[in-house]
Structure 1
Amino acid sequence: MDIQYIKDKLNSSDYDFLRTDPHLGSNILILTAAGSVAYGTNVGTSDIDIRGVTIERKQDIMGLSSFEQFEDRATDTVIYGLKKFISLCLNCNPNVLEILGTKPEHLFVITKEGKLLRDNVDLFLSKRVIHSFGNYATAQLRRLQNALARDSYPQAEKEKHILNSILGQMEHLKRTYKSFTGSEIHLYIDESDREDMDTEIFIDINLKHYPLRDFKNIYAEMSNIVKDYSKLNHRNSKKDELHLNKHAMHLIRLLITGTEVLEGKGINTFREKERELFLDIRNGKYKYSDIFEMVDEYEQRFKTAAENTPLPDEPDYKRVEELMIEIYSKVLL
């Protein structure tokens, strides 16, 4: 997709909100292409995805108002408030870190403050990448593998894939909600009394004085994984096949990008070297058995990078805070 075409679209009435919304306009620090254009995997039918960062207004920072992000679903545009953006970056969220690693020619707005964020992306990087990139990718790939092999895998084997996906999500849950251990929430597979199942996943819970809302959210996230498997197991159309190919392409991309981050090479959103490979996967050139072999290879590279990474255990909170103060001071004072 031609960049000039996207620039022309951004100047059209469809994107008037960029200029008229009180949280956007001159407050935008970064506005960049996202999705397939940013990755280099776009095709003729690809949509335009736009992501960005905006600085909150004075009343949002010092007054009674609040602002976290702006979203326009019709154009697939998401623009984060600076404080929320930095919070997500500190957790090494892949979707927001990618904003700091897009190609310069994919930037439609970049202020001095936005450049400061991009120039200091290393401050946000830590071993949290292992979980944010790796656990998400491997869990999703195992779900994909289960869906594709549903006709040949026995029910008990599918149940193992579901359990592995949930266990892979556990590290995220432990960081997000009040801490718990494997002894407090224990998942395992055992014989089932259900007529249509040989085995199934069971849970032992031993929680005391635990926040009900946190537990509700933990249960909901685990339940969503089970529901997603059910949806994948009912795929039966060419459209679903194309969707799974695209899904596999992006998950392998995530493993490759995460490996580079763990190796200390920073965030490189545009994947020029792998572009042809990704498009071949998307277009169905590879058998799924070949894709799973690739997955095993890239997972091993990711694990090796994780074991030898020079990244710190935690991000540099002090310097990130200093960066935030510098940006807010420049804009507000």
Structure 2
Amino acid sequence: MTREELQRIIDSEPYDFLRTDPHLGKHLMFLTIGGSHAYGTNVAGSDVDIRGVALNSKEDLLGLGEFEHRVDTMTDTTVFSFNKAAKLLCSGNPNMLEQFGNPDELVITYSPTAKLLFDNKNLFLSKRVIYSFGGFAGKLIKEADAKWRAYLYEVEVSGVNPNVKPYIPCGEKRFNKIVMNVIRLYHMLFDILEKGEINTYRGAEHDILMQIRNGDYDYEELRKHTIPIYEARLQADKKETELPDRVDMKQVNELAVTINEQALKVV
């Protein structure tokens, strides 16, 4: 997706709420792309997921306002308030950190505070990502394993030849996307731990990710050999990474105060 394509989508009528919602509109910091279009694993007909962050309003900061996020299911759009986003970033939330790993051309900014936040994104990187990204991957692995066991049971009771495609689970888009995202999450985590970089677009792994998405892989081979190799690499990264154990909340709070001071000036 190009910047022009992203801008046309955001400017279209279904996204008018971005301009009319009192919590968004003039409070928007930035909007960007999420999901498969951000990872580079989209196919024809893939949903367009818009993600972003909006400054907290004066009512939120000085009054009793409690805006945290706006979700529009019709357009698959989610925009978080800055304060909520900052808390998610501190916890190493994968869906939030992904937004800060997109290339500049896929980030539409509406406020100078967006640049300030992006320039300081590494403040939010800590060893907590081991548990947020690793935990998310582990949850997906359990889901895939359950589907695979159900498939093997069906093979056993039905007499289906498991060597004849299409495989029952590998022919299901949901199953393939689960497995694909496991591999993607591991590689994003490796980049963060080994390089201190958030790289959402997975160009280096594109071919293997698309093979998985298209069902062209052996799940048992991946589960028995690939995942253990990734887990061993992760264990080594835990010991060798230069990331701090946790984010420096003093620095994060200083950044939040600076951004919120600017938010109070929005009229």
Give the TM-score normalised by structure 1: 0.71
Closer/same/farther in 2, CA of residues 29 and 151 from structure 1, 3 Å limit: closer
1:269 equivalent in alignment to 2:212: no
- How many percent of aligned residue pairs carry the same amino acid? 40
Partner in structure 1 of residue 190 of structure 2: 259
Partner in structure 2 of residue 89 of structure 1: 89
SS in 1 for 2:234: helix
1:245 equivalent in alignment to 2:245: no
State the 1:68 CA deviation.
0.5
Partner in structure 1 of residue 23 of structure 2: 23
Distance 2:261 2:27 in 1: 14
1:108 equivalent in alignment to 2:108: yes
Distance 1:272 1:7 in 2: 23
Partner in structure 2 of residue 45 of structure 1: 45
Partner in structure 2 of residue 297 of structure 1: 229
Q: 1:141, 1:248 within 8 Å by CA — same for their partners in 2? A: yes
**Which structure ranks higher in relative contact order (CA pairs < 8 Å, sequence separation ≥ 6)?**
2
State the 1:12 CA deviation.
1.3
Q: 1:55, 1:81 within 8 Å by CA — same for their partners in 2? A: yes
For residues 159-170 of structure 1, the aligned pairs below 5 Å read none
For residues 1-333 of structure 1, the aligned pairs below 5 Å read 1=1, 3-150=3-150, 152=152, 241-292=172-223, 293-333=225-265
Distance 2:139 2:10 in 1: 36
| Amino acid corresponding to residue 138 of structure 1 in structure 2 | G
C-alpha RMSD over aligned residues: 1.9
Distance 1:121 1:2 in 2: 23
State the 1:272 CA deviation.
1.1
Q: 1:101, 1:118 within 8 Å by CA — same for their partners in 2? A: no
| Amino acid corresponding to residue 322 of structure 1 in structure 2 | E
Residue-by-residue CA offset, 1:173-195 (whole Å, 9 max, x unaligned): xxxxxxxxxxxxxxxxxxxxxxx
Closer/same/farther in 2, CA of residues 289 and 119 from structure 1, 3 Å limit: same
Q: After the TM superposition, which segments of 4 or more aligned residues of structure 1 sit over 4 Å from their partners?
A: 236-240
State the 1:98 CA deviation.
0.8
Partner in structure 1 of residue 163 of structure 2: none
SS in 2 for 1:70: strand
Q: 2:144, 2:175 within 8 Å by CA — same for their partners in 1? A: yes
Distance 2:16 2:170 in 1: 33
Closer/same/farther in 2, CA of residues 64 and 265 from structure 1, 3 Å limit: closer
How many residues were matched structurally?
251
| Amino acid corresponding to residue 85 of structure 1 in structure 2 | A
Q: 2:39, 2:202 within 8 Å by CA — same for their partners in 1? A: yes
Give the TM-score normalised by structure 2: 0.88
SS in 1 for 2:209: helix
Gaps of at least 5 residues in structure 1 are 154-235
Residue-by-residue CA offset, 1:261-298 (whole Å, 9 max, x unaligned): 11143211111111111111100111112322222222
Distance 1:242 1:255 in 2: 20
State the 1:314 CA deviation.
1.2
